[in-house]
Amino acid sequence: MPTSRTLRHLALTTAALAFPVGWVTRAAWGLPTALGAHRRRLRPLVAASPHFSDGKFHNTLETPALAPANTRDGLLRQWHDDRHVGLPGRPIPLAHAELPAEAAELAVTWFGHASALLEIDGARVLFDPVWGERVSPSPILGPTRLHEPPIPLDELPQVDAVVISHDHYDHLDLPTVRALRDGQTAPFVVPLGIGEHLRKWDVPEDRIVELDWDGSITVGDLMITCTEARHFSGRYFYRDTTLWASWAVTGPRHRVFFGGDTGYHPAFSRIGAQYGPFDLTLLPVGAYNDAWHFIHMDPEEALRAHGDLGGGVLLPIHWATFNLAFHRWSEPVERTLKAADAKGVPVVVPRPGERIDVLNPPKLTDWWTEVGSAADHPHPHGDAGLGTAAFVRALSRLISLLPD
């Protein structure tokens, strides 16, 4: 007969082993579905694109996605030491826009990060909607929201199109897609390959429109054109199996450009000449770092792109909602406004959830300085919006294993 001491030891050992098994099970829950379509299913559908070769999509320019090996030690140190810097110092103020029954001539509601609702010539286009709590395939790992969604997704009016820039988790969110699948009737207009993710998530075939760069679709009175971007794609270890894009929306009277997520590239000038000039540009200004300079613009590059596009009003996006880099939380908008002031570019900086009449924009109100950055108000932090320290350790390990 085992002694009580042996039984107690066995129970403690079992409990100690059960915790990591349970944690891993929770972390992996729903993973196969969230990852999207496998590359074997994607390849036959995208191989005819002139931008696809050797099993993946390519940028027009050579574009390293990460830093060369000699800078990775510094990047790993940043993941460990600076992951709290991008947190806000205080709660982020939200607005709850009263969205009109009829879409306006030109208005935009920014919900944070790259999610925005455009009203143009009486129609509505929803860009990169992400209402989920984490931008990750896992329910317990990955970057968490720094503020709540400004309005519930079911309060959105019916839209004419849902437009996606690429398949990264902070732009293509499974819970949000499912909610829009059930609560809206609009088509999903996406770059090549992303339609296969949507099919896996039971979006009806007749609501999926896939386009290559410079491909267009007419939705009502709007022409929505898939335009070049400089980025990459992937929801797991296989990368660049789906296309990434920016978008031009052309109505009878107004034109709008949505940058999604991109590094600076000379094609902005061609896009401006071919599809612009644009009354409004929504351009990414955040989550920049020297280590991924080619795939994310900094604020000064966003202003340059705005000029190349023939932009009128600039709305800075891709900041404020998720901690995805190492700059101070408010730095992107501060640098954007400084660069815009030097160039005389009109900028709107709504609070998340605030609706802007682009034809009669309000006076710029500084709401971000009071929020500040956690780096300016040192105090103990939780998970830094990254999920857990385990996520940071795992990500660091993955970066260290990447080939030179």
Instruction: Pull the structure tokens for residue 125.
Output: 């286009």
Q: What is the pLDDT of residue 400?
A: 42
What's phi and psi for 377, nearest 5 deg? -135, 75
At CA 360, angle to CA 362 and CA 165, rounded to 5?
85
> Cβ-count burial of 41 within 10 angstroms (0-12 exposed, 13-18 middle, 19+ buried)?
middle
Residue 217 three-state SS: strand
- Residue 153 and residue 134 in contact, taking contact as beta carbons nearer than 8 Å: no
Tens of pLDDT, residues 77-112? 555 556 788 899 999 999 999 999 999 999 999 999
pLDDT at 21 over 60: no
pLDDT at 53 over 70: yes
Higher-pLDDT residue of 394 and 348 is 348
Q: What is the pLDDT of residue 141?
A: 83
Q: How far apart are CA 210 and CA 25, in angstroms?
A: 34
pLDDT at 120 over 90: yes
What share of the chain has pLDDT > 70, as a percent? 81
Q: Which residues contact 302 (CB under 8 A, 6 or more apart)?
A: 259, 283, 284, 285, 314, 316, 336, 339
pLDDT at 378 over 60: no
Confidence of residue 376 (pLDDT cuts 50, 70, 90): confident
Centroid of chain to Cα 291: 18
Confidence of residue 381 (pLDDT cuts 50, 70, 90): very low
Q: What is the pLDDT of residue 31?
A: 59
Tens of pLDDT, residues 212-262? 999 999 999 999 999 999 999 999 778 999 999 999 999 999 999 999 999
Return the DSSP state at 404: -
Predicted model pTM: 0.87
Q: What is the pLDDT of residue 66?
A: 64
Range with lowest mean pLDDT among 12-16, 191-195, 317-321: 12-16
Cα radius of gyration (the chain): 22
Mean residue pLDDT across the chain? 86
Instruction: Pull the structure tokens for residue 376.
Output: 């300016």
- Residue 257 and residue 268 in contact, taking contact as beta carbons nearer than 8 Å: no
**Which amino acid is located at 2 in the chain?**
P
Q: What is the pLDDT of residue 16?
A: 43
Q: How far apart are CA 75 and CA 86, in angstroms?
A: 15
Confidence of residue 32 (pLDDT cuts 50, 70, 90): confident
pLDDT at 404 over 70: no
Residue with tokens 């000379």: 266
Tens of pLDDT, residues 157-188? 999 999 999 999 999 999 999 999 999 999 99
Confidence of residue 5 (pLDDT cuts 50, 70, 90): low
Residue 40 three-state SS: helix
Mean pLDDT of 2-18: 50
pLDDT at 335 over 90: yes
Q: Measure Cα distances from 49 to 24, 209, 211, 223 in Å.
A: 39, 15, 10, 21
Single out the residue of 287, 352, 348 nearest to residue 143, CA to CA: 287
Mean pLDDT of 359-378: 90
| DSSP string for residues in 267-319 | HHHHHHHHH--EEEEEEE--S--GGGTTTS--HHHHHHHHHHTTEEEEEEES-
Q: What is the pLDDT of residue 209?
A: 98
Q: What is the pLDDT of residue 68?
A: 52
Maximum separation of any 2 CA atoms in the chain, in Å: 87
Q: What is the pLDDT of residue 264?
A: 98
- Residue 144 and residue 391 in contact, taking contact as beta carbons nearer than 8 Å: no
Asked whether the bond before 277 is cis by omega within 30 degrees of 0, the reply is yes
Q: What is the pLDDT of residue 396?
A: 43
- List for the chain the helix, strand, coil content (%; round to 5): 30, 20, 50
Tens of pLDDT, residues 255-274? 999 999 999 999 999 999 99
**Which amino acid is located at 387 in the chain?**
G
pLDDT at 18 over 70: no
Q: What is the pLDDT of residue 291?
A: 86
pLDDT at 351 over 70: yes
Q: How far apart are CA 34 and CA 51, in angstroms?
A: 26
- Residue 354 and residue 73 in contact, taking contact as beta carbons nearer than 8 Å: no
Q: Which residues share a beta bridge with 311?
A: 278
Q: Which residues share a beta bridge with 247?
A: 226, 258
Higher-pLDDT residue of 390 and 88 is 88
Q: What is the dihedral of CA 20, 389, 130, 313, to 10 degrees?
A: -170
Q: How far apart are CA 285 and CA 332, in angstroms?
A: 6
Q: How far apart are CA 10 and CA 12, in angstroms?
A: 5
Q: What is the pLDDT of residue 33?
A: 86
Q: What is the pLDDT of residue 142?
A: 85
Q: How far apart are CA 280 and CA 350, in angstroms?
A: 14
